[in-house]
Amino acid sequence: MSEITFEKIKECYLNILELLKQKQQALIKKDLEGLNSTDEKLICLYNEIKIIYEKKDTFSLNQAQKDELNELTSKIGKLQKDNEVLINHSLGVINKIFEGILNITSSKSDDYNRMGKKNQESGLDISSITEEA
């Protein structure tokens, strides 16, 4: 990374903010490729921010610049929390789908013994219909 300036730091934060918005849209649209792409870009930007903070003693910011960066980090934090809620909700939905699939398959497998033969007839008793026929 070249010389650290306020403009460079602000640009990184603005890019993170934009990518988090894109990530949110990818989560809503269930766009896994878009999600992967934005996550890769976010990791690169987070690494840049890490480098900036490792060298924070080499530059100084005035109060107005600090306030502007604090406002951006606040927006980033809110977006990140919103995205976490979306991710947790998605995981909950996926878990419910898997539970449903497992319940269906396990109940069907219970009808058969280890030899693959049906244990019992279906639970429906239609003997009255057969007697009348």
pLDDT tens digits along 32-67: 899 999 999 999 999 999 999 898 888 889 999 999
Q: Which CB contacts under 8 angstroms, 24+ apart, belong to 18-25?
A: 19/45, 20/76, 20/79, 20/80, 20/83, 21/79, 23/83, 24/79, 24/82, 24/83, 24/86
Strand partners, 118: 112
In the structure encoding, which two tokens stand for residue 104, read together?
């269906």
Q: Along the 133 residues of the chain, how does pLDDT read in single tens digits?
A: 568 899 999 999 999 999 999 999 999 998 989 999 999 999 999 999 999 989 888 888 999 999 999 999 999 999 999 999 999 988 888 888 888 888 777 656 566 666 667 766 555 555 555 555 5
pTM, full prediction: 0.70
In the structure encoding, which two tokens stand for residue 67, read together?
């306030």
Q: Are 49 and 55 in contact (CB under 8 A)?
A: no
